[in-house]
Amino acid sequence: MAQQKEAAVVGMWVFLLTEILFFGGLFAAYMVYRIWYFDAFAEASRSLSLFWGGLNTAVLIGSSLTMAMAVRCAQTNKRTATVNWLILTMILGAVFLGVKVIEYADKFEHHHVPGYNFQWAAAHEAPAAGEHAVAASEGAAAAEGHRELSLTPAQLQLTTQIYFSLYFTMTGLHALHMIIGIGIMLVITRMAYQGKFDQEYYTPVEMAGLYWHFVDIVWIFLFPLLYLVERHV
């Protein structure tokens, strides 16, 4: 049993290392483009909702806590508590995905999805008129300043599209990992309900916890990178 657990732990860490390298490559690409087109990235970042991004950050931090509680309860053979904490973790994961759906819908509505119909200028003007009073009052001068730089409308159209290409790639892959994590937890929850875990055997819960914490940490990096580019809260 000890050898099986050790093999599972090593296998999980090797898998997570490959995931770190994968997301690390995306982060590196983002940082390169951010350095090259900082003004455009800063302007595009201001179109994201700090409220929804902050809410999702809080939700995932909470889900890390509930996942840790599930692992602890599995270690102490508390079957009902383990099931309850796992269910709560899945609920928080579903809340996160629901918020991302809201954010994605907003981007589709304002034509911020990279492709033939991408329209930065027209879509960017709309929120300042009504939806985001704070951005209109606090960020008007800064936004105006960025528009007066050497970026032509065509350049702004291109460079903001690069930002949103990276935004959808990174957040989409993260959301996919969230969906996979919820699927894993559905299986783990069923096993916990059937009483398959105790003080001697709780490795699946522990491995699911490692995966879930990794996904949460990825978002902790994504949030400031995507939402807080030259943003003064």
pLDDT at position 62: 97
Q: Measured between alpha carbons, how far is 163 from 120 in angstroms, rounded to an integer?
A: 11
pTM of the model: 0.83
Contact 143, 183 (CB under 8 A): no
pLDDT value for 172: 96
Residue 121: predicted pLDDT = 66
Closest of 53, 55, 30 to residue 224, by C-alpha = 53
Give average pLDDT by consecutive 10-residue segment, the chain, 233 residues.
76 92 94 91 91 96 97 93 97 98 93 86 45 40 45 80 95 97 96 90 92 96 90 54
What pLDDT was estimated at residue 129? 36
Domains of the chain (ranges; CATH) run 2-227 (1.20.120.80)
pLDDT of residue 146: 43
Distances (CA, A) of 27 to 34, 35, 127, 188: 10, 12, 28, 31
Please tell me the predicted confidence (pLDDT) of residue 229.
Answer: 80
Cβ atoms of 12 and 211 within 8 Å: the answer is: yes
